[in-house]
Chains A and B, each alone.
Chain A
Amino acid sequence: MKKLIVILLLAVTGYFMVISFMDLGKDGPVVKNGVKDFYLDKTVSELKVANTITSIVVNFRGFDTLGEVTVLFLAATALGGILYKKRHHVGERSVLFPSSTIVKAGSKLLFPAIILLGVYVFVHGHLSPGGGFQGGTIIATGFLLMLLAYDNFSVSHKVLSYIESFAGIFFVLFGLSGMFMGKTFLENFMPVGNLNDLFSGGIIPIIYILVGFKVAAELTGLIYTVLNEKE
């Protein structure tokens, strides 16, 4: 009976939703002369970037991305602060049983392929779907695979924090160097090149590579902290 009422309610709301969406877009786009046309126009003509979303995220709204990176950094720091404990044996995790030879050999072969895919995704952020955040996450999954397969695999927190800090510092420095060239913070100041070239788009690929390094280091450190947690 309960389920019947739920289904009926869902059907009624769905009907009214469909009815109200029917009229949308009948006489042209809903937002006329909005900021959308500006983005679509400038991305190809001025920035020579194939991926519009990347140009919005990194160039037009680069300041937001800086905030996003900061939020991720703060989340990783907070989780590390909660889970951190002084341990006697660093790098030894409590495992129920060691993983089998098949998993060990397979992950050894898969690890470079995953790293390569992650690097590809963030290097081609301005040409194809993806970008720094996605590529960094893919790299972190590669480290997760190695950490699950080998119980003595360890990553150095020191190296990770250096990578993370330098990536963040260079992100801000690139923004500031735009100001020295007489433009605004995080505005493009480098030659844009041709459409669909790997070396094109001004500062977009450089900033996405930095973001990729930063996200990969952050998430790897996060996974390592969570896996090392002991009862």
Chain B
Amino acid sequence: MSLLEIIGGIFILVGSVFLFLGGLGIFRMPDVYNRLQAGTKATTLGAMSVILGVGISQAATDWTWILKTLVIVIFIAYSNPISSHALARAMYKRKKFPLVKSKAENMDAYREIIETEKEEVKS
């Protein structure tokens, strides 16, 4: 195992941890905006890290792998924020506002979501 492979492995490990946390966040968060936060930010970093890690670990045999994976990373860094922005904006324009603690009606909505989820788990 060469040094490049170890560095690439570390990148892949970090990326997969972030991808796992992103998936967990989509499962766990209460509303759309929080889920977007988990599902786009964490998975952007996770996917970029995994792809770059693959490129670095293969660089010992063929150095052009780094350039190829860099192109993919640039593409992800470019397209993922745009798509998450479009999703969040569409939700906001549809009058689905984020759950904020200071607003009373929002807290009620939040409690309702929590209780319905609890009932779903029980049934």
Chain A interface residues (CB < 8 Å from chain B)? 96-97, 99-100, 102-103, 106-107, 109-110, 113
Interchain residue pairs with CB less than 8 A apart (5): A100-B86, A100-B89, A103-B82, A106-B78, A110-B82
Given the contacts A96-B93, A100-B89, A113 and B75 also touching, CB distance less than 8 Å: yes
Residues of chain A within 8 A of B85, CB atoms compared: 100, 102-103
Residues of chain B within 8 A of A97, CB atoms compared: 93
Residues of chain B within 8 A of A107, CB atoms compared: 82
Given the contacts A96-B93, A97-B93, A103 and B86 also touching, CB distance less than 8 Å: yes
Residues of chain B within 8 A of A99, CB atoms compared: 86
- B86 and A109 contacting across the interface, CB-CB below 8 Å: no
Interface extent on B, as a size class? under 10
CA of A97 to CA of B92, assembled, Å = 11
Residues of chain B within 8 A of A106, CB atoms compared: 78-79, 82
Residues of chain A within 8 A of B89, CB atoms compared: 100
Q: Which residue of A lies closest to B82 (CB)?
A: A106
B39-58 contact mask (Cβ, 8 Å, vs A): 1 or 0: 00000000000000000000
Enumerate B64-86 residues with CB–CB distance to A below 8 Å.
75, 78-79, 82, 85-86
Other than the known A96-B93, A103-B82, A107-B82, what 7 A-B pairs have Cβ atoms closer than 8 Å?
A96-B94, A102-B82, A102-B85, A106-B79, A106-B82, A109-B78, A110-B82
